[in-house]
Amino acid sequence: MPDAAPVTSATLLRMKQRGEKIVCVTSYDASFTRLLEAAGVDVVLVGDSLGMVIQGQESTLAVTVQDMVYHASCVARAGQRALRIVDMPFMSYASVAQALGNAARLMREGGAHMVKLEGGGAVAEAVRALAGHGIPVCAHLGLTPQSVHQLGGYRVQGRDSESATKLLEEARLLEAAGASLLVLECIPSDLARQVSANLHIPTIGIGAGPHCDGQVLVLYDLLGITPGKRPRFTHNFLEDADDIPQALRAFVDAVRAGEFPRPEHSFS
């Protein structure tokens, strides 16, 4: 079982070393954060996905730093045990100076324990600077939603040998730059297994198969209330539950037991 004390990056590292699965869910307010903590979630991610599931935007690109500060502060007021990661939104870390200033706001005003940014080599300098100033960083590779137009849509990444090799190299680079955690989104299961085995830091998967050190889902996907077509890598845990707290506990239990994700939630 995970430690009873507040979760830190050191906690997650110990969980990886012990082979214990890390459970992460997005949250954007105090009420759901209380339910997630009661369910035993290790990490609460205040994601810029709020642009789509709360604001009704077509992508995450319209989300601002102030949006993230507001929602992070709502989550922080209810947080007790779980590690709080807050997304740095689109173009909020284009330079080292921007990254430092905006990350400081997310921690000071938003109550973040760690910030998350997307990208590989292009953000390594920012990761290094943030870590060097005592700001824990979660990196994000694979499908990076802030680059959706450059990627040509929401598509699985790393399927050919060249892009898979590049992703592994970038994962190592980000770890060397000081990242404490790595999210892998929409990549083949075998590639996620390789990346997870080659890194000292934990990996958190979303559409990356069962071999990551942990799993994350968007809260609204987990509860089956996201409008439109549901992503393949999600599952509606509310379908077989009596209420939301039970659905959240079912997700936590399924991840801990290695029962989620199943093959149908993964890519080859």
In a domain, 182, yes or no: yes
pTM to 2 decimal places? 0.96
The answer to whether residues 87 and 47 touch, using CB atoms and an 8 Å cutoff, is: yes
Inside any domain, residue 128:
yes
Residue 239 CB coordination number (10 Å): 10
Give the pLDDT of the chain (268 residues) as one tens digit per residue.
444 799 999 999 999 999 999 999 999 999 999 999 999 999 999 999 999 999 999 999 999 999 999 999 999 999 999 999 999 999 999 999 999 999 999 999 999 999 999 999 999 999 999 999 999 999 999 999 888 767 666 789 999 999 999 999 999 999 999 999 999 999 999 999 999 999 999 999 999 999 999 999 999 999 999 877 788 899 999 999 999 999 999 999 999 999 999 999 999 8
Residue with tokens 């035993």: 40
Cα 144 to chain center, whole Å? 11
Q: Before 261, cis peptide (omega within 30)?
A: yes
User: Per the structure block, which two tokens stand in for 117?
Assistant: 């940014």
- Domain count along the chain: 1
* Residue 181 within any structural domain of the chain: yes
Any domain includes 149: yes
Closest CA to 120 of 157, 159, 83: 157
Contact (Cβ atoms closer than 8 angstroms) between residue 198 and residue 168: yes
Residue 130, amino acid:
L
Q: Quick check: is 2 in a domain?
A: no
Per-residue tokens: 63: 């989300």
Taking phi over 0 as left and psi of -120 to 50 as alpha, with beta for the rest, 178 belongs to: left
Q: What is the CATH number of the domain that holds 134?
A: 3.20.20.60
Find the domain containing 244 and state its range.
9-265
For residue range 55-81, what is the model confidence (pLDDT) as tens digits?
Answer: 999 999 999 999 999 999 999 999 999
Q: Which residue among the candidates 20, 37, 175, 185 is catalytic per the annotation?
A: 185
259 is catalytic: no
Helix axes 124-132, 96-108, angle to 10 degrees: 50
| Token reading at 30 | 């105090």
Examine residue 165 and state whether it is found in any structural domain, yes or no: yes
Q: How far apart are CA 128 and CA 126, in angstroms?
A: 5
Neighbours of 263 (CB within 10 A): 10
Decide if 4 is inside a domain.
Answer: no
What distance in Å separates the CA atoms of residue 168 and residue 184, rounded to the nearest whole number? 11
| Residue 1 in domain | no
